[in-house]
Chain A
Amino acid sequence: MTSHDVRDMLDLPQEGAARPIKKQKVAAPRPVLKGLAREVQNLSGDNPIAIVPEGSIFKKRRFASRKPAAKWELRPFRNSARSDDSLILRHWRRLDEKRKLPPQPAGENRDSATQTMEGVVGGEEQMEDSGFAKFNVQVELFDYSPEEYESRLRSEDWTKDETDYLMKMVSQFDLRWPIIWDRYEYEPPIPEQAPSEADGNARAIIVAPKTRSMEDLKARYYAVTATMMVIRKPPIKMNSAEFSLHEVMLNFNPEQEKARKIFAENSFLRTKEEAREEESLLLELKRINARSERFSDERRELYARLDAPSSSSHTNNFTSSVGLGQLLQQLMSMDKSKKQRKSIMGGEGISPAGPSGPTQQNPDHRRESSARESISGPSAPNNKKGPPNPAERRQLSKEEEEMYGVSRHERIGTSGPAFRQEKIFKPLLAKSMNQQKIINNVLTELEIPPRLIMPTADVGESYDGLLTSINNLLDCRKVADKLTAEINIARAQKAERERLARESENAGEGGDVGAGAETVVGTGGKGNSGAPGSVNGTTTTTTTGPGPTNSEPRNEEKAGSPTASVKGVAHKRSASVMSAVSDKSAKRQKK
């Protein structure tokens, strides 16, 4: 229970604004308290009593961590970076407690202030090297032989002697270019060394001191070093650090450097007024840009309004309450986005769209909303569907399509899930049971199992191919069967004709052979029995008679459906033949 609760119960007025400040004060010491102190603190509630003296902890700790004082020792050391070996300095090091041997080098703590001059120290064979010796780094310079200089490094502007001098300076001052430039005092070799140049005139020209800028020096040095790098190690073998260094040196542009320095110097020497003016100009530019952007935005909006197709055709979308609700939601969301954009623009400080200007903003707002309405009109049905419309659908690359098994078809029979095996067998299953049986027989003959092992799209295609060729085969066979039947019929007819011929001959000799059985032919024979010469005539008519009737059905058969059963045709034909014969005989009888 806290004082707050008590106050609440007793209906005492709450303490005013002072409280939060107090609370904040309390918050700091609280986490420190432990045990009994914390209990006491809790008892006190919102108004803590300062019982616990602060800072007592620090005193305690000091006694707790008492240790024997560390031992230090004055120890000599040498600096390998120095050229004078005889110099030995001493410094204070902490005595290593683990190893009692005094001359061993210890940790990293050092006190360079205690360095003192000292002569030779006896008895200590191994002297510690200074920890700073490693910072004495020498610049790695490329040496070039005179031949290499002649072949690769010649320059119009630089003599070999001066290049040598530059290299010397560079190594001496460790590539610190300002110092090198400062100390650069090249004097061409005295003409006495070159006896050919004894002429005073020539000497004057040579002696004339060339003032080299820092950029000149750098350019020369980089050119030389880059070339030497390439000579020592072809660029292909360089590691990335070497190569990038080489690139940097190769691309050194003294003109640009000069311009940069001049620019930096100028901006350094700029007065306060000039700086202010520049700033204001930049601001002005920004403002102009923003204004033009806003202007173009407005213009685009105007164009959109002008171009928008008439929304009258879409009004029926909004006649129902659902449509209207959706329209409202859409407008709200668009409004929100618009507002957000507005606030961003306002933040740039172009137009202070504060709370003071609702009247001023009103026309602007109305115009926007009207524009929105016309814009949203045609787009409404699109957005209604929720998920992206086909135009927005992600376009997949060829590989992706293959990976995700996507394919495009002109016509897909039914939408929804299906199985490939079924789909492949669909054309087969569409056939009659009889046909299926025949095709399956062929397949087993070919040792193709009735189920495909892997019904993939490609397999399906080749299966389709196989089926069509099987169908071809079956068609061929069917026609062949028909032909055999025809041949058989033709043969039978021939035999029949021959027999007829024979019988008619017999009938000519005497009717006693074909008396009972061959009634039709017999009667014909009897009718013509009087004239043996005309027997030949009648036989010819009978042969020519069926001729055209025979050929007619054959053509019909070729053109017509192959499904008609062969036997049926044969029957028909034989019937027609018989009828033709009987017609003839009937005519003869009438005669």
Chain B
Amino acid sequence: MAPLNQGKRCKGIQIFRPFVYGTTAKLFDPTTNPKPEGTPDDHTHSWTVFVKGVDDTDITYWCRKVQFKLHESIPNPLRMIENTTPGTPFQVHETGWGEFEITIKLYYVPESYEKPQTFYHHLRLHPYGVTEAEKEAMRISPQIISWVYEEQLFNEPFESFYELLTSPVDRSKGTTGGKGKGTRLMKGGMVSSTGERTALVPLASRPGQPFSRETEKAEIKRLREAQGKVEEMVKLAQKDLQDKEKELAALKAS
């Protein structure tokens, strides 16, 4: 099945690209979010499921198309999204009343010679969260967002794909392969780093762009703190252990 002339895999090399996927749901409301024509009466929310680059960067140079598999009750549940302009998300807009698991399948550019990969995302329409406060905050907010940061790893990519991933955008070439339309790339200067093929994540979070170095650092900090706690617990447990051993020894000796 493997096509001819695809070269070799780069041994020991791993390349990653960050991206974001998730859903954004909004309750129908006569004033702010009116029901569009032809929406069934029992539908309560409008929602969007998307796959996009972090900070709206271009991902089309490695991700050719995305298939969203919606619930069977929705007409035409298999939605294939392709040919999006670089810097805009692969997305599906729908209306509905219930939450379900969406199957998302990423198709890679032909240069990669990689098979499509699947992951799942739970559509959230109602406030969720561990604590009541979190739920309350979500209830107040105009929309229910469930966004997930993910990193696409390419383990040992083929050489042609390696070249593609590690070279800057050739702006002179315009439309070649899945790299999108040249004009849009030129305009990309406006949308911060659109058109740059980096794996870098923005330094600071902005409204609507929650994933950044800051968030990462906060997460690492949280994990470290948790680890610290666990370590303390381990110490306590060890002390307890020693006490118990002594007790046992004492019991044995008597």
Chain A residues with a Cβ under 8 A of chain B: 385-390, 393-394, 396, 400, 402-423, 442-443, 446-449, 451-459, 462-463, 465-466, 469-470, 472-473, 476-477, 479-480, 483-484, 486-487, 490-491, 494, 550-551
User: B83 an interface residue at 8 Å Cβ cutoff?
Assistant: no
Name the one of B222, B230, B240 contacting A480, with C-beta atoms under 8 angstroms.
Answer: B240
Interface centre among A451, A454, A463, A476 (most CB of B within 10 A): A454
Cα–Cα, bound, A557→B181 (Å):
69
Pair A418/B153 contact, Cβ less than 8 Å: yes
- With contacts A404-B166, A462-B227 known, is A490 near B252, CB below 8 A? yes
- The answer to whether B254 and A419 have CB atoms under 8 Å apart is no
A-B contact pairs, 12 of them (CB 8 A): A404-B166, A407-B15, A407-B16, A420-B153, A447-B130, A449-B130, A455-B149, A455-B151, A473-B230, A473-B233, A486-B248, A550-B252
Contacts of B231 in A (CB 8 A): 469
User: Quick check: B251 and A487 within 8 Å, CB to CB?
Assistant: yes
Which among B40-48, B65-73, B196-204 touches the partner chain? B196-204
Q: How far is the CA of A406 from the CA of B153 in the complex (A)?
A: 10
**Are A417's CB and B248's CB within 8 A?**
no
- Is there a chain A Cβ closer than 8 Å to B234's Cβ? yes
Distance between A400 CB and nearest chain B CB, rounded to angstroms? 7
**Other A-B pairs beyond A386-B5, A447-B130, A477-B237, 9, CB < 8 Å:** A416-B155, A417-B155, A454-B149, A457-B151, A459-B216, A466-B227, A480-B237, A480-B240, A487-B247
Residues of B within 8 Å of A447, CB to CB, are 130, 226
B173 within 8 A of A: no
Closest chain-A Cβ to B195's Cβ sits at a distance in Å of: 14
Does B11 make an interface contact (CB < 8 A)?
yes
Known: A386-B7, A462-B223, A466-B226. A483 touches B245 (CB 8 A): yes
B226 in contact with A421 (CB, 8 Å):
no
Q: Check B137 for interface membership: any CB of A closer than 8 A.
A: no
The complex places the Cα of A458 from the Cα of B214 at a distance, in Å, of 13
Q: Which residues of B contact A (CB under 8 A)?
A: 5, 7-18, 106, 108, 112, 114-115, 117, 119, 130, 148-156, 159-160, 162-163, 165-167, 197-201, 211, 215-216, 219-220, 222-224, 226-227, 229-231, 233-234, 237-238, 240-241, 244-245, 247-248, 251-252, 254
B contact residues around A420 at 8 Å (CB):
16, 150-153
A480 touches B197 (CB 8 A): no
Q: Whole-angstrom distance from the CB of B14 to the nearest CB of chain A?
A: 5
| Chain A contacts for B224, CB-based, 8 A | 462, 465
Set of chain B residues within 8 Å of A453, measured between Cβ atoms: 149, 211, 215, 219
Residues of B within 8 A of A417 (CB): 106, 108, 112, 114-115, 117, 152-155
**Known contacts A403-B199, A448-B222; is A473 also within 8 Å of B237 by CB?**
yes
Contact B252 A414 (CB under 8 A): no
CB distance from A473 to the nearest CB of B (A): 5
Q: Once the chains bind, are B200 and A419 in contact (CB under 8 Å)?
A: no
List of B residues within 8 angstroms of A470 by Cβ:
230
Contact of A419 among B5, B117, B244 (CB under 8 A): B117
Q: List the B residue with the shortest CB-CB distance to A419.
A: B150
- B205 CB to closest chain A CB, in angstroms? 11
> Which residues of A are found within 8 Å of B18, using beta-carbon distances?
405, 456
CB <8 Å contact, A409 and B14: yes
A459 to B218, CA, bound (A): 10
Bound complex: CA A420 to CA B241 (Å): 37
Taking each of B9, B153, B229, which has the highest tally of chain A beta carbons within 10 Å of its own beta carbon? B153
Chain A residues with CB under 8 A of B10: 390, 393
Complex Cα distance A387/B163, Å? 10
Query: Could you tell me if B227 and A465 are in contact, using CB atoms closer than 8 angstroms?
Result: yes
Q: Check A446–B226 contact: CB distance below 8 A.
A: yes
What 3 A-B pairs are tightest by C-beta distance, nearest first? A405-B199, A420-B151, A415-B156
Among the listed B14, B130, B167, which residue makes an inter-chain contact with A412, where contact means beta carbons less than 8 Å apart?
B14
Taking CB atoms, residues of chain A closer than 8 Å to B244 are: 480, 483-484, 487
Shortest distance from the beta carbon of A325 to any chain B beta carbon, whole Å: 14
Nearest CB of A to B138, in Å: 15
A residues less than 8 Å from B219 (CB atoms):
452-454, 459
Report the nearest B residue to A403, measured CB to CB: B198
B200 to A402, Cβ gap below 8 A?
yes
Asked if B160 contacts A387 (CB within 8 A), the reply is yes
Given A417-B108, A456-B216, A476-B237, A390 contacting B163 (CB threshold 8 A): no
Assess the B241–A479 pair: CB atoms within 8 A.
yes
Please, which residues of chain B bring their CB within 8 A of the CB of A551? 252
Contact B241 A483 (CB under 8 A): yes
Q: Which residues of A contact B211 (CB under 8 A)?
A: 453-454
| Residues in B neighbouring A463, C-beta threshold 8 A | 223
Q: Are B237 and A406 in contact (CB under 8 A)?
A: no
Find out whether the CB atom of A490 lies under 8 angstroms from the CB atom of B117. Answer: no
**Residue from the list B159, B197, B248 in contact with A393, Cβ < 8 A:** B159
Q: Which residues of B contact A394 (CB under 8 A)?
A: 163, 166-167
Chain B residues whose CB sits within 8 angstroms of the CB of A490 once the complex forms: 248, 251-252
Name the B residues within 8 Å of A393 (CB-CB).
10, 159, 162
Residue of B nearest to A480 (CB): B241
